[in-house]
Amino acid sequence: MKRHCVFVAILVLIFHLVQSQNQTDCDSLFFWLNDCDRFPDDVYDRKWYPVFQNSWTQVTTNLNLNISTIYYELPQGVMATAATPLNTNATLNIKWTIEPPTTPFYSYIHFAELQSLRANDTREFNVTLNGEYTFGPYSPKPLKTETLQDLSPEQCTGGACILQLVKTLKSTLPPLLNAIEAFTVIDFPQMETNEDDDLSSSGLTGVITQGFKNLTHLQYLDLSDNNLTGEIPKFLADIQSLLVINLSGNNLTGSVPFSLLQKKGLKLNVQGNPHLLCTDGLCANKGDEHKKKSITVPLVASIASIAGLICALVLLFILKKKTPLKFEDYV
């Protein structure tokens, strides 16, 4: 049976940090449903949930879309599918419930015209949430993704939300919708992590991940006593907030990047890496001498506001605090 669907997404974790004195405010945003699809070209590895209604028909394309929204990085497989009402004069409606009902949420609605319109055809509609005008009139761009987003959180009376795409009088075609992302907001009244949290003795293997470069507010990086291999990446020297890097007790090879050795104020510990080469007598593990010693190189710390996609040390806490949202048919 053919499925007529809109894709709805979940991000396991999105976070933003705002530095205020010594306190970090961390709001986690997530959205949860059952039965999801994942797409190999989704750089954020989101879970996308098909939403079906009998009153819809499906529009698809095999052509590549212009996914130009750099902040959302939407998969081609998601945006190449859209839903539109079977009745050309009907409104496209989606209803969901939020628990607890007072929970605020953000929505991101993604559009792309997938059909080749005739000269006398027009697809134009307004967007409303709970009967209130949100945006429009709007016409999706041919094979180009555009996103309607909330700049501030929304709330729905009693937790019952109704999104409607309403055809304008000028339009000859019904509304079209490709995908939605929605996230609820959880406030943490106190810090959910401890400054003593670290990744030491965690059984980590392989090379030091490039993902650390996104943690531009990171101050303490403790990867000691694991089984990390490969070279120490140069990007660690570019994380201006880092005060301490502990890489001791691994199997790192190559040389310590000169840029790390030159950083002022940075405490760097590389002892216990027998194959690590160091130059200019700054490291104990020089050639075959394999001596153990920690080195200290200064670094001027700076404070930066960031919007990131990973908050590894709070992830386990967040997953225990999921607030489920349900999508329902609304005709």
Q: What average pLDDT does range 23-28 have in this prediction?
A: 33
Place of tokens 């967040």: 318
From 105, 315, 306, 322, select the one nearest 192 (Cα to Cα): 315
| Last residue in a domain, options 127, 153, 184 | 184
CA distances to 158, 199, 232, 282 from 296, rounded to whole Å, are 57, 21, 16, 9
Tell me how far the alpha carbon of residue 213 is from its chain's centroid. 15
Residues 108 and 229 in one domain: no
Domain that holds residue 145: 28-184
pLDDT at 91: 96
Has residue 21 been placed in a domain? no
pLDDT at 226: 93
Has residue 175 been placed in a domain? yes
pLDDT at 77: 85
Residues 112 and 43 in one domain: yes
Burial 19-54 (b: 16+ CB within 10 A, else e): eeeeebebbbbbbebeeebebeebeeebbbbbbebe
Has residue 322 been placed in a domain? no
Residues 200 and 180 in one domain: no
Most confident of 45-59, 167-181, 271-285: 167-181
Has residue 246 been placed in a domain? yes
Has residue 10 been placed in a domain? no
Residues 101 and 232 in one domain: no
Has residue 249 been placed in a domain? yes
pLDDT at 211: 80
Q: How confident is the model at residue 39 (pLDDT cuts 50, 70, 90)?
A: confident
Residues 170 and 200 in one domain: no
Residues 177 and 228 in one domain: no
| Last residue in a domain, options 184, 215, 230 | 184
Model confidence at 296: pLDDT above 50: no
Q: What is the DSSP string of 216-281?
A: TT--EEE--SSEE-SBPPGGGGG-TT--EEE--SS--BEE--HHHHH-TTEEEE-TT-TTEE--TT
Residues 104 and 166 in one domain: yes
List pLDDT tens digits, range 203-240: 888 899 888 887 878 888 999 999 999 999 999 998 88
Average pLDDT of the residues of the chain: 73
Q: Residue 240 belongs to a domain with what CATH number?
A: 3.80.10.10
Residues 166 and 36 in one domain: yes
pLDDT at 186: 64
Instruction: Give the chain's domain count.
Output: 2
Q: Residue 115 belongs to a domain with what CATH number?
A: 2.60.120
pTM: 0.53
Has residue 84 been placed in a domain? yes
List pLDDT tens digits, range 92-132: 998 888 888 888 888 889 999 999 999 999 999 999 999 99
Residues 243 and 106 in one domain: no
Q: Are 126 and 137 in contact (CB under 8 A)?
A: yes
Has residue 224 been placed in a domain? yes
Residues 96 and 226 in one domain: no
Report the alpha-carbon distance of residue 50 to residue 184 in Å, rounded.
19
If one compares 181 and 16, the residue with the highest pLDDT of the two is: 181
| Last residue in a domain, options 277, 294, 311 | 277
Residues 150 and 243 in one domain: no
Report the alpha-carbon distance of residue 175 to residue 181 in Å, rounded.
18
Model confidence at 291: pLDDT above 70: no
Report the alpha-carbon distance of residue 177 to residue 68 in Å, rounded.
18
From 133, 137, 142, select the one nearest 171 (Cα to Cα): 137
Residues 32 and 178 in one domain: yes
